[in-house]
Amino acid sequence: MIDVAITGAAGKMGKTLIAALSESKVLNLAAAIEQPGQLSIGVDAGELAGVGSNGVTITDDLKSACASFEVLIDFTIAAATLENVAICQGENRKMVIGTTGLLESERAGLATAAKKIPIVHASNFSVGVNVTFKLAAIAASILGNDADIEITEAHHRHKVDAPSGTAITLGEVVAAQLDRKLADVAVYGREGTGGERDRKTIAFHSLRAGDIVGDHTVTFAGEGELIELTHRAQSRMNFAMGALRAAEFVSAQASGLFDMQDVLDLKSIHG
């Protein structure tokens, strides 16, 4: 069995990961971490996740917990993730990171840490979303500059970053196929009379409402035809199951920065 720790254990994603681990025959929950001062400290992680007692007590000390696990799964916020990377690098622990909203400099920091420890970092761990990334890349490579490209995403009202990391990844995937740099062509929403649309732009539109788990659509609009690729998440369990696949993958790596395309071997499929 591969011993795994969950940080952000009392959050929605953390509890879903704990529930998913309770069913795994390959991975074992060895530690559960939360921020100091949280009411969940000292609580049984399995009971908190609604799967029954598992004997793992939630703690607020990641460094001390490092002796008990091989892989840390981190779905938190940027500041916490960077602290956790530093600890795991120092303790030679492997990581799966699902935190979004990282700055370019912070992503560069992950690449530096990955020279010592293996890290899987992805904006979305859903297998279906990663298939959508691949399909979007194939569509962009075939359609070339003959289509306007718009990306729409919707999430629950509590999500703090916009556009979502998944939407940004979709934009990066498409831009790369078209030899464009996303930072140069991205448009975020529209207002006023800005003139005719520049075909080389890639536009993003974000909705925040209710309890939407996560919807993403990339639209390729040409003359007389429209292609829409849509993924709708119906629960967080699909993200958790993908993260567990990533944990199993990263446990076999010595170092390096990977994503879910590596985990699923989608890079071997050429469009």
Give me the active site residues, please: 155, 159
DSSP letters, 83-111, are: HHHHHHHHHT-EEEE------HHHHHHHH
Q: How is residue 201 written in tokens?
A: 């732009």
**What are the backbone dihedrals phi and psi of residue 214, each rounded to the nearest 5 degrees, phi first?**
165, 115
Task: Name the CA dihedral angle for 158, 206, 246, 135, rounded to a multiple of 10 degrees.
Answer: 160
> Which run of H or E residues covers position 172?
helix 165-177
Eight-class DSSP state of 189: -
CB 127 within 8 A of CB 134: no
Half-sphere exposure of 62 (CA within 13 A, CB side): 30
Cβ neighbours, 10 Å, residue 258:
18
CB 11 within 8 A of CB 21: no
Q: Order the strands of the 225-233 sheet from edge to edge.
A: 186-188, 202-208, 148-155, 214-222, 225-233
Q: Residue 119: is it exposed, middle or buried by C-beta count within 10 angstroms (0-12/13-18/19+)? A: buried
CB 74 within 8 A of CB 98: yes
**What are the backbone dihedrals phi and psi of residue 226, each rounded to the nearest 5 degrees, phi first?**
-140, 130
